[in-house]
Amino acid sequence: MKKLALLSLILISCNPANRAIVNLNGFEQFVNTTISENSAYSSKNWADADSTFKYFKNYFSKEKLNLLSEDDRDKFIQLEGKYEGARAVYSTQKLINDVEEGAKDFSNRAKGFIEGVSKSIDSNVIKKVLNNQ
């Protein structure tokens, strides 16, 4: 009886459709973890997450998606969208932060430029006035 149970377990785990379900569950766990923890993610964390996402996308090629039920295919596609949405929010926020930082740097540079121009003009004008008298 134990041999039959073990053989059944081996056959079930070797079935490509069952492996696809196991990977779908892993993908779901990955996406849900990413969503719940992404507010603390650094660029490195996102790079690692993107690599994991790419692994799952490659694993679920059309051939593997066809092993899933229609509900599971829909679930995979929704999970893809969920991850991509979280990634888009991070990318947009990073872009906004970069633009804000760049604007601050530009503002400081512009202030310095204007100060440099005005001091140069003032000293040149004073020198001209003194030389012309």
Query: Over the stretch 86-119, which tens digit does the pLDDT of each residue have?
Result: 999 988 888 888 788 877 777 778 788 778 777 7
Q: What tokens appear for 71 in the block?
A: 């509900």
- Average pLDDT of 53-73? 90
Q: What tokens appear for 53 in the block?
A: 């996402």
Question: What pLDDT, on a 0 to 100 scale, did the predictor assign at position 7?
Answer: 38
Question: What pLDDT, on a 0 to 100 scale, did the predictor assign at position 10?
Answer: 46
| 43 against 6, higher pLDDT | 43
Instruction: Give the closest residue to 76 by CA, choosing from 89, 59, 93.
Output: 59
Torsion sign across C-alpha atoms 57, 63, 67, 69: positive
Give pLDDT tens digits for 12-47.
455 777 788 888 999 999 999 999 998 889 999 999
What residues contact residue 57 under an 8 Å CB cut-off, 6+ apart? 80
Question: What pLDDT, on a 0 to 100 scale, did the predictor assign at position 85?
Answer: 94
User: pTM for the whole thing?
Assistant: 0.65
What residues contact residue 23 under an 8 Å CB cut-off, 6+ apart? 56, 59, 60, 64
